[in-house]
Structures are given as structure tokens and as C-alpha cells.
Amino acid sequence: AVPAVPAPAVFSARSVLPVRNGGEIRITGVSKSFGTLKVLDEVGLTLRPGSVTAIIGQSGSGKSTLLRAINHLERVDAGFIAIDGELIGYRQDGDTLYELKEKDILARRVDVGMVFQSFNLFPHLTVIENLVEAPIAVRGLPRAQALAEARELLARVGLADKADAFPRQLSGGQQQRVAIARALALRPKVVLFDEPTSALDPELVGEVLDVIKELARSGTTLVIVTHEIGFAREVADQVVFMEGGRILEQGPPSRVLAAPDHPRTREFLAKVL
Ligand code: ADP
Ligand code: MG
């Protein structure tokens, strides 16, 4: 049996707020190496329910690996991650190892939606079929209900008229909006975005950021790896700067982006702004 993850000894004022929608993510002492390369180095981070966190940092700093660890697409070497106090995947505690069974990992993953840089839609399925597949297979929804929910989600991302199109018939921005709707179709508590606008032509970035902004107001916990600093400033409650697998600095955008403490954060921002 997997024990409940104990609360850390020190709470921030925010993390003891009652959980309503859920979606509190607690990352504790997470490390991960690929061979001799340490990609995550004792990362600790708490995201309160409904918050929006922007993760920034140079290429190779471990941002994607951290996101993948939250979804247990990446198995960590040490430390653990919990969503609403429920362990994700695996925890090494001294000599004791707790590991969820594959079916429990899959069940837990329903809480976490993921949106990738490259959309990853099923090319052979229409937009609406892309959206109903997982709710039918994973949530066990009747097809009629899955279709009704999918239409609602498409309307929410401004694509009600594209239900029967194939992904190749859509612009990159439209495909990414479908990918966001698909991530929402499992009603996740948390949505992770890995550079969701990096593959888009500049004129298509805004429509995708607008959808994410709307989502930010809805109470779903969001984690967004992004190089869009203006967007992070506007939408994020918390900005996290990573380098070399470590969190060098974290805090509200008004401080981290405007008056960073760490010289490496300042250097990074000078390059991307
Ligand atoms: P970021 O998203 O910040 O660019 P990543 O988390 O993708 O960084 O990668 C961090 C480091 O880990 C990089 O040096 C990358 O090459 C390496 N890395 C990522 N995934 C793997 C893997 N599956 N095998 C080996 N090295 C990897
Ligand atoms: Mg990355």
C-alpha cells in the first residue's frame, strides 16, 4: 500500500488553503540523471490549486524533464511528486520504495493533461474524434455524452466549426487549440504546457495564448514552460527560473521578471527580452 504523503514541516501561507477544485502539486527533492548527466537536482516546488506557474530557463535546463516527471512520463531517481496528497508514480524513502501499479499510474494520470510543442494530434482522426477517444476509453463516457462535451470544448477554444476537419486541414494555431481542448476532455485538475507556442508562426501565437489565458481564469492548475516573458508576466502567479536542473529563483512575476535576485536570472532575461 502507498502511504499518504506527509505534509512538509513548513507550510507557506498559501499551501494550507482548503483545496476546492484540487490540483495542488507538491514536488519534493526530485532528482533525475540520464547516465552521468544530472538533469534535475533536488527540485522542490509547491503549486497551489488553481495557480498558474510559468517555468523559464535556457534550453537543456531540465524544464521538459520536470514537466514529464509531474505526469510520471519520466521516472525520477529520488524525491517524490504528489497531486492533492496522492503520490504520482513512485517514491524512494531511504531504503523503502513505494511504487504504484501501472493501472494506478494510468488512473492518476487522468488528473494531468499535457500539451506539447508539436500538438501530437492523431492525424488519421477528425478533430471531434481526437477529442472523444480518451473520454470514452479512459473515463468510460457513453459516446453521445463524449460528443456533447467535445463540442462544448471546441466552442470554448473557438473551433466549433472544425469538428469534422482533419488536423492537416488546420493551421498550427488551430491544431494547438484542438490539442488544448483534447487535454481538457479528461477533466484534469492540472494542465502542463511544454512550450505550447514555440512551433507556431508568430501571427498564430496570440490565439493560443488567449485560450490559455481563458483557462487560467477557470481554476485549473496550470504549469507552462514558455519563452513568452510578456505572457508569463501577465498570466502567471509564480515564475520559476531553472538552470542546470535546479530552481535558481522563484516568486511572483512582478519580482522575478522585473527585479530578479539571481544574476543568472538577470542574464537570461536580458537575452530573451
Ligand atoms: P529543457 O526542456 O529545459 O530544454 P530537458 O528537460 O529537455 O531541458 O533536458 C535537460 C537535459 O537532459 C538536456 O541536456 C537533454 O539533452 C537531456 N535529456 C533529456 N531527455 C533525455 C533522455 N531521454 N536521454 C538522455 N538525455 C536526455
Ligand atoms: Mg524542453
Give pLDDT tens digits for 63-114. Answer: 999 999 998 889 888 888 989 888 887 776 667 777 777 777 777 788 899 9
pLDDT tens digits for range 15-46: 232 333 679 999 999 999 999 999 999 999 99
Q: Which ipTM score applies to this complex?
A: 0.98
Q: How far is CA 119 from CA 58, 194, 202, 217, 245, in A?
A: 22, 10, 16, 23, 25
Average pLDDT, the chain: 88
Nearest CA to ligand 1 atom 13: 60
Lowest-confidence region among 13-17, 43-47, 128-132: 13-17
Nearest CA to ligand 1 atom 6: 62
Nearest CA to ligand 1 atom 20: 65
Is the per-residue pLDDT at 263 higher than 90?
Answer: yes
The binding-site residues of ligand 1, defined as CB within 6 angstroms of any ligand atom, are 34, 37, 39, 57, 59-65
Whole-number Å distance, alpha carbon 81 to ligand 1 midpoint, is 19
The answer to whether 261 and 271 have CB atoms below 8 angstroms apart is: no
Angle formed by the axes of helices 143-156 and 127-137, nearest 10°: 130
Which pTM was predicted?
0.89
pLDDT tens digits for range 164-191: 999 999 999 999 999 999 999 988 999 9
